[in-house]
Chains A and B, each alone.
Chain A
Amino acid sequence: MSDVKTPEAIYVTEALIAEDIDAYLDQHQHKTMLRFITCGSVDDGKSTLIGRLLYDSKMIFEDQLDALALDSKKVGTQGQEIDFALLVDGLAAEREQGITIDVAYRFFNTEKRKFIVADCPGHEQYTRNMVTGASTADLAVILIDARKGVLVQTRRHSYLCHLIGITNMVLAVNKMDLVDYSEARFNEILADYTAFAHSIGITEFTAMPISGFKGDNIIGASDNTPWYKGPNLVEHLEAVEVNSARDAGKAFRMPVQWVNRPNLDFRGFAGLIASGSVKPGDAIRVLPSGKTSSVTRVVTMPSAGFAGETAGDGDLDEAMAGQSVTVCFADEIDCSRGSVITAADNPPEVADQFEATLVWMDDAPLNVGRAYWLKLGTQLVSATVQAPKYAVNVNDAGGSGSHVAVKTLELNAIGVAELATDKPIVFEAYAENRTLGGFILIDKMTNRTVAAGMLHFSLRRAQNVHWQATDITRGDHADLKNQTARVLWFTGLSGSGKSTIANEVEKALNLMNRHTFLLDGDNVRHGLNKDLGFTEADRIENIRRVGEVAKLMADAGLIVLTAFISPFKADRDLVRGMLPEGEFIEVFVDTPLAVAEARDVKGLYKKARAGTLKNFTGIDSPYEPPASPEIRVNTVEMSAQEAAAHIIRQLMPLK
């Protein structure tokens, strides 16, 4: 450690702490907070830089330093010197492999600010972790190894930071000690990076030559770089504007988390203010209902503590972006979790079709047309994503984010696509408001967070295509036929007997003078869906179209029978959601795989087993059985006629 410089300015002013703790506490109490991320290629020295910041700000305790010295000798990569990277690589697997896998959060203070640093992994397979770290950051430090210059990862990470909306960027050219603090080398890298940055729309960044390992330009100007006149890293971090301060100047928006109703006299709406400010007397509008009222109280708990001394808070005169409060209205208007309270004269849009950028974060690729949960603020809706318009290639030679045509999005891919929600949501463009424009997609089966999304704008057709009201209703159609419209949705393996049983049911209904129509899988694929294949995405689209057709026929008053394998629960639920409650009757033709395969009426199982037929349900593509179908028939114990009779009995009465 002998050649490591002692920090010139010690952040935690020990003298002040020792002499006047109250003055120090007062200073600390009024500090602001900056969250930033460090990113760059593997071995650019991210962890070392953070270790350095912690060390210089005395956030490393003696016992941790002892453990660190021991670890450094055992697994360190710096010979006998202390390896700061070991301080931040927290997981055992990370220390063993000498790489950062997951985002680590670290904390340090200066006299002006508290800092939360997200140390993000560099490898491409951990892009999702980097995006996670970036999503809460006010600033990004992009590290470059002075010996290596701008690399693929540098471009990728810069693009991601820009994408996620970080406007404060620091280009830290690290390991300057290893290039003899060469100004020429620094300028060369700066020129390279500037050209790239402009090509992807980054207009402003601050570049500085540093050495995380030796401590140059971290705190105070380094004697080794007399040619550099800009700010040192810590000085810069202390000065930049944080996001919440910027958001406070915008129009008021607060997503409602929870309705607080302890008794009949109090009804408040709890939330974190996303933008703007609010005070008693303000006129507000609640979306999506559009109802208006005015604010009577902005409530927080009085911190009387328990000692009886009032320390502050209680009702506020005004609250601003970044604060968690409870707001009361003058009128009893409809407002619940998922609603957004907004300035009455400046509300955001409500829509159900959007264009968005998606960062795909799951091993399973995007299923076009499949329904996912979409969570935006406190709103949770079902959403389907269209085929991506394009994916962004951030690894190409120029790194300019060129567009690539793709059919889906794989892990770590970034693409732009249109999506539709089942209910209108309150939103703003991500560039305007992170809270009302940023969302996640959740897989309905695995519950995993599969994508991060950023809304660009609503599609005008969502606003301009309205339902045309007609005088003859769907009820009128069905009444004339002396029946209740229904969709009997037969699902089961290939060869389970769906078509045979559906055919028997239709024959029986026809004898009873009912108006029916049977949509059969194979028949539909010869016409309406002849452009679709058997990939997972195409199968989802197949079912969606059949669902829409079935719905139109049910609107016309028919009893519709459909016979499709329809292997995915999410897709069947999508169709269920299209129809009025009670009209979707899921009929599970429950035939074990072995029985269906033994029948093999069309010889398909043989082909699938031989590998000549791909994506065959039950063999190399999953079948998700219904958990609680309206009707279940067992074709091992029942004949097709018995199964049909059982189904008809379940349907009675028909009107």
Chain B
Amino acid sequence: MARTLTHLERLEAESIHIIREVVAEADKPVMLYSVGKDSAVMLHLARKAFYPSPPPFPLLHVDTTWKFKAMYELRARMAELSGMELLVYKNPEAVEKGINPFDHGALHTDMWKTEGLKQALDKYGFDVAFGGARRDEEKSRAKERIFSFRTASHGWDPKNQRPELWNIYNAKKSKGESIRCFPISNWTELDVWQYIHLNDIPIVPLYFAGMRPTVERDGMLLMVDDDRFPLRPGEVPVMRSVRFRTLGCYPLTGAVESTASTLPEVIQETLLTTTSERQGRAIDKDAGGAGMEKKKQEGYF
């Protein structure tokens, strides 16, 4: 009598299968690498899928210049360890205009991330881009296919998705179309943490609690990661023991007060917490309940 595979074994096998299918059928795939914990797992799965070869595609980081310093450090380290080419793309228009989250609000995400991603994909001519999104993150993502098609202008049409049967993926695309592929669609936040724990996968230290300079602003705890952070009158950075549940641009990412300094402690806190992961991010709050759906239609990953 054969044993039954554990849920993590099944998830891992499914993700590896998906990544290999893309490589077998795509003309020019790329893996979007955001340096977060989901990217860390996705990268690990890609390495495992092709071992002993390195994954036969590059990593692409669509940079905003506003990520945490610790993220840039890990990015460099992982590119070296994986033996993969690392492409860093910064929207030249955003660079020129000095777009930043303090002065430009929603434009910051639009120009650096949404526009930056479109430009990068067009520039290199990538036809399939892997992303680390999970279906448990957000309502519209729960309905997105693993192979998700984008029009030539990178738009998503949620009402016209291809049926996806068994583990057979139709990667045939028409001229101008491209594909976003989400190999860890079926993982939950807990699965990601546990897999990192079991496989000792390197992650940004900011996920663990540490004493960090922070200010409290608009109900969020923001970390003053460098001297570009404009303090408002009366604001003084205070050293607090904090960690991050999710990592993005440091001025847009809320920290939580915590003393969890090991992975089991982080997982413990995650399980006992009462707010969802993306709550620390400002992006989901636009346009009422359909924030992410709308963003994706416009070409956000």
Contacts and interface: CB of A to CB of B under 8 A. Distances in A.
Q: Classify the secondary structure of A's interface with B.
A: mixed
Nearest to B56: A258
Interface stretch (A86-94, A169-177, A643-651): A86-94
A320 to B, nearest CB: 6
A448 interface: yes
Contacts of B290: 91-92
B268 to A, nearest CB: 4
A244 interface: yes
A262 B53 contact: yes
A71 to B, nearest CB: 6
A494 interface: no
Interface in A97-143: 101-107, 109, 113-114, 116, 128-129, 131-132, 135-136
A440 B51 CA distance: 30
A333 interface: no
Contact of A262 (B5, B52, B138): B52
A438 B164 CA distance: 12
Contact of A132 (B10, B136, B165, B294): B165
B293 A91 contact: yes
Interface residues of A, number: 95
A306 interface: yes
A332 interface: no
Contacts of B273: 61
Given A21-B264, A29-B198, A301-B48, A132 B163 contact: yes
Interface stretch (B116-124, B250-258, B274-282): B274-282
Contact of A299 (B52, B138, B165): B52
A311 interface: yes
A311 B199 contact: yes
Interface string A414-445: 00000000000000000000110011101000
Given A105-B185, A309-B200, A17 B268 contact: yes
Contact of B162 (A109, A261, A439, A449): A449
A404 to B, nearest CB: 23
Contact of B6 (A30, A102, A260, A262): A30
A330 B158 CA distance: 48
Contacts of B135: 105-107
A14 B272 contact: yes
Contacts of A261: 53
B239 interface: no
Contact of B5 (A105, A135, A320, A435): A320
B5 to A, nearest CB: 5
A104 B172 contact: no
A136 B166 contact: yes
B231 interface: no
A438 B168 CA distance: 9
B11 interface: yes
A249 B37 CA distance: 36
Interface in A8-28: 12, 14, 17-18, 21-22, 24-25, 28
A64 B165 CA distance: 30
Interface string B145-168: 000000000000011011111111
Interface of B: 1-14, 16-17, 20-21, 23-24, 47-54, 81, 135-136, 138-143, 158-159, 161-168, 170, 172-174, 185-186, 188, 190-191, 194, 197-202, 264-265, 267-268, 271-276, 279, 289-290, 293-294
28 contacts: A12-B271, A21-B268, A24-B271, A25-B197, A25-B264, A29-B8, A33-B10, A61-B273, A61-B274, A61-B275, A64-B276, A67-B289, A88-B142, A91-B293, A105-B142, A128-B163, A135-B165, A257-B17, A260-B50, A262-B52, A270-B20, A299-B51, A306-B202, A320-B5, A323-B9, A435-B166, A438-B165, A446-B174
Interface of A: 12, 14, 17-18, 21-22, 24-25, 28-33, 61-64, 67, 71, 88-93, 95, 101-107, 109, 113-114, 116, 128-129, 131-132, 135-136, 242, 244-245, 248-249, 257-258, 260-262, 266, 270-272, 277, 299-301, 303-307, 309, 311-313, 320-324, 326, 337, 361, 373, 375-378, 434-435, 438-440, 442, 446-449, 452
